[in-house]
Amino acid sequence: MYTHRVNYYETDKMGIVHHSNYIRFMEEARVQFFKDINFDYFELEKQGIFSPVVALNNCKYRKPTHFGDDILIDIKIKQYNGIRLVVQYKMFTNDTLVFEGESEHCFISQDGKLIKLDENNFGALHNKLTELVEK
């Protein structure tokens, strides 16, 4: 689980976190998640694999968060087939669900060509993502 402490600049005039920041929090948590499973984004990019966001889905803002709040972000791999990856996020403050959503990704080479991950092509990452898909 990743924790983000809300900064003052992430809030709006009403004193709550601006909705656009949750997308940044998703990215922070996703980058840390990949690092935690031993696939650091920097290393993946050095190996020529990039994973851009192609869609944001089912984003629901359940409760507001404020400056100084700790947001705990839980990540699950919802879908993965070697070409498409869907990551699910649930964010909590004081055990209260404040946000949930998904990001959808593909895998591309540095020149922008689609990559299919499989046993022969980035097999370790493919196997780990396959293992982590929520059943």
- Give the structural domain span for 9: 2-132
Number of domains in the chain: 1
3-state helix, strand, coil in the chain (%, to 5): 25, 40, 35
Output the pLDDT for position 18: 94
103, 97 Cβ separation under 8 angstroms: no
Helix (H, G, I), strand (E, B) or coil at 117: coil
- Inform me whether the pLDDT recorded for 135 exceeds 80: no
| CATH value at residue 9 | 3.10.129.10
* Active-site residue, from 12, 36, 70, 74: 12
Q: Assess whether 12 carries a catalytic annotation.
A: yes
Output the pLDDT for position 27: 96
Write the pLDDT tens digit of every residue in 88-114. Answer: 999 999 999 999 999 999 999 999 899
The closest of 98, 55, 109 to 78, measured between CA atoms, is 55
- Inform me whether the pLDDT recorded for 34 exceeds 80: yes
